[in-house]
Structure 1
């Protein structure tokens, strides 16, 4: 069981002064709970950050207080749940890559409230697209590396693998959902999945038959920097074909959500290299294969940990009337459940649910205990 935690800040890009001499640097990353974690040197001290192409540079409130960073101004942000909130900003005096080839100075950063939304990932903030202006960024999912260079020379990648940015400074590109159906999509490495469909895009594409509706669900609260979204009705859909440049993805499943844009997430790196030429507003995708079939099965309920208890988070059609959002799981295959750690469930899932393809859950509902089968269909 993986709970989707999204913490991107979807914002316009600001100019950042003070980039040092243009060179190439290779920044290793590790995946933790679907997040790309990188090491940077901030104000002389090594710190961990989430590398988030869909966001703006931000710091946790805790690290701002620890370092005594003064407030400079404020900025209204829109998070992954389309919640808007004004946040204060601070200034990072110095931000370096570990090899010190690139030096960012006087970097504006949003100060987020405490407790930190990054706590589960043991990071101090986000590295966003705003500090990458004018640079070229290559993301290699096999090598787990981020290669950053100056933008003086365009990449030598074939232009047939290129899509232009729809929004300058942010990797928003137009994908093709079937024939003749264009959809603007943000490549957001802060999103741990492959594809997430914005609710308004759902309505537009539904009218032209671009996908099949697989199920309707209720629940699905997600967490953004402005807090947790309210439970709501949403849909699971399947696109027969989704094209990213010259690469075809077949049978792409997605769940509707309320971000400011439809999202293409970090799992794209499972299928090829991505190069972001911020200097020329270009997105390149070098696929390992020209065609990929993503047909998959799905659970009839989604679960999450809340206050140490495993609860029902989403109910799909097949389970309507059987369980409700918030019902507590009391037993797994007849064995009483443990108390679960929220962060551990995000990063590694629930061991008892990962061990088997099908388990029986005993759920405490308002009408008494019920036993349901938890499996992908």
Structure 2
């Protein structure tokens, strides 16, 4: 069981760049999952580095690698991150971004220079590969094989058009899903989002009177961490969609929490259920499901936890724990044993070992009104 800490680095962009590559090409790029992120290897200006593969964002580099490689700022660009925070970022140019098999060399690639310290430190990544880099390509993502196949797009995909959804916005995999009967949700396929589905608050407001979902719980807690920082603590709702359709594939009992991204997000966990192909030039999204229908019914913890300054704290409180504990309260014991100091990055990647053993765990929590013992469990 991993920490309930939402880290989504996507930064949506207001313009798309088209890097020059060869006329015909194909590469198979292996990826590995680290803390809910797709990590790929690329060579930047001759130096092999790790990158987060993020279809919801645009290409970006850490400040540290920009300084190391001597990349000079050429311009700036305003971007919007996953928390809808807008900021101007410097732009640098990557002379060469080469795949490991040396079959595709993206040249003169504009990239955001992110502020220091690196937001990718926990994932040991030096940057982010976004949809802007892929604008002239066809991309097939196979979650079973853990591969990303990038090809030139002279011909359309051979996948049946019955499995296709058109992009709503050219250059980005933004598509229309169906919630129940006749309720459209405009949604961004974002491999930077670690969950299956994340509901934008304005879509919640629009759909709540249509009977598209039921409210399971109300929570108060910290928001996602984006490239511009963590969102302020706020109220969120946990909802369940009886039916959510991705093209012809039906997903039953889909749970989501409301948040404030620019779009509702369809996240990387979609790849657990089928293969995705993105035809960027033709603005087409294909989903080849392994099964025609899935039931995603699940339970969720009554509080969320995260590591702050080495200590384990309450980061979100859901309905059953309201008035019992508060955001920021410190966990002092787990099943009666004093807690130690925790590494933030280790908790993001591998979770807290003491919380993995049992379905129900007793936590001793230091609150403003003294110590309390609560049961940390799914409900």
Q: Same fold (TM over 0.5)?
A: yes
Deviations 1:209-266 (A, max 9, x none): 1100000100132210001110000100000000000000000000000000000000
Matched, 1:123 2:125: yes
Q: Of the candidates 185, 209, 212, which is equivalent to residue 210 of structure 1?
A: 212
- How many angstroms apart in 2 are the aligned matches of 1:298 and 1:287? 25
Match 2:286 to one of 280, 284, 287: 284
Do the aligned partners of residues 24 and 13 (structure 1) sit closer, same or farther apart at CA in structure 2, a change above 3 Å counting? farther
TM-score when normalising by structure 1? 0.99
The residue correspondences of 1:1-377 to structure 2 (distance < 5 A) are 1-2=2-3, 3-377=5-379
**Unaligned 5+ runs, structure 1:** none
Asked if the contact 1:4/1:346 (under 8 Å) is kept, the reply is: no
Q: Deviations over 1:176-222 (max 9, x none)?
A: 00000000000000011100000100000102111000001001322
Q: 2-side partners of 1:263 and 1:188: how far apart?
A: 6
Deviation at 1:373, TM superposition (A): 0.1
| Alignment check: 8 A CA contact 1:19 1:105 kept | yes
Instruction: Count matched residues.
Output: 377
How many angstroms apart in 1 are the aligned matches of 2:32 and 2:314? 30
Q: Distance in 1 between matches of 2:63 and 2:187?
A: 30
Asked whether the equivalents of residues 22 and 102 of structure 1 are also in contact (C-alpha less than 8 Å), the reply is no
Secondary structure, in 3 states, of the residue corresponding to 1:71? coil
- Structure 1 Cα separation of the partners of residues 299 and 163 of structure 2: 30
Q: Is this contact kept in 2: 1:241–1:252, CA < 8 A?
A: yes
1:271 Cα offset (Å): 0.1
Unaligned runs of 5+ in 2: none
RMSD of aligned alpha carbons: 0.8
TM-score, normalised relative to structure 2: 0.98
Give 1:13 shift: 4.5
